[in-house]
Amino acid sequence: MTHAPIAVALDAPDLETAARWADLVTPHVSTVKVGLELYLRYGPDVIASVRGASGVQVFLDLKLHDIPNTVAGAARAVGRLRPAFLTVHAAGGPAMIRAAVEAAPHTKIAAVTVLTSLSESDLAAIGMAGPAGDAVRRLAALSVEAGATALVCSPHEVAALRAEVGPDITLITPGVRPAGSDTQDQARVATPEQALADGADLLVIGRPITGSPDPGAAAAAIAATLRRTTP
């Protein structure tokens, strides 16, 4: 059975829970994602714990955002753990993105464009020129120019970005919710089927899977809907 192009966000309060979720979902998905909550609590050891025996691909989501020299040092430090992806904020600018790319040559640097939790009115409040689609395209173009080989955007922008950046850039979409499920703190959302049909390569899904009483079954169910979407 092929693994669905899903990165399960292991946003757990403790390592035991994260490792259990990882064990349950890895038969069904390609990737597990370690974010700030786990990494700040447990540090590098968390990567080996969630990779487990399966050797599943690990996405390290630290959303680095600092001056280029500091980001280079941070990317070098975690690049040794060989995550498949490492996130940086595209708003850190081209020199920062390039510094991360050069410091972690074995990892795909994924530039986060506009957080999926932000609405048009949030963009206005922080003084970012919108609409969101335009901001995402602007940030994506400068990220790719700076050497990023992956981009994080919402499912709303993925079709336009695919047309803009071509087939070789990995497009990653959080803000994914199965039809009828709670959007929680996400603002720009779509279903897994829609995100995939619009050109996403990897769907980041957390609580719809990990909040389920049976995360393995939830991951398998979403994976099955994606198999029906793929031509």
- Number of Cβ within a 10 Å radius of residue 153: 31
Q: Note every long-range contact of 124-128, with CB atoms under 8 Å and residues 24 or more positions apart, other chains counting.
A: none
Which stretch, 24-32, 67-75, 198-206, 217-225, contacts ligand OMP (CB under 6 A)? Answer: 198-206
Is residue 174 close enough to count as binding ligand OMP by CB under 6 A?
yes
Query: Which residue, 65 or 207, has its beta carbon nearer to ligand OMP?
Result: 207
* 61 near ligand OMP, judged by CB under 6 A: yes
Instruction: Map the footprint of ligand OMP across residues 177-196, applying CB under 6 A.
Output: 184, 186
> What token pair was written down for 64?
């680095």
108 in catalytic set: no
User: Given candidates 34, 152, 171, 195, which one binds ligand OMP under the rule CB under 6 A?
Assistant: 152
Helix (H) or strand (E) holding 216: helix 215-229
Minimum CB distance to ligand OMP smaller for 91 or for 103: 91
> Catalytic: 14?
no
- Give the residue among 30, 81, 53 at the shortest CA–CA distance from 205: 30
**Buried residues in 45-68 as b, exposed as e (16+ CB within 10 A):** ebbebbbeeeebbbbbbbebbeeb
Is residue 69 part of an annotated ligand binding site?
Answer: yes
- Residue 66 known to bind ligand: yes
Distance CA 106, CA 52 (A): 20
**Residues annotated as catalytic (active site), given as ranges:** 61, 63, 66
The annotated binding site for substrate is made up of 11, 33, 61-70, 116, 177, 186, 206-207
Known binding site: residues?
A: 11, 33, 61-70, 116, 177, 186, 206-207
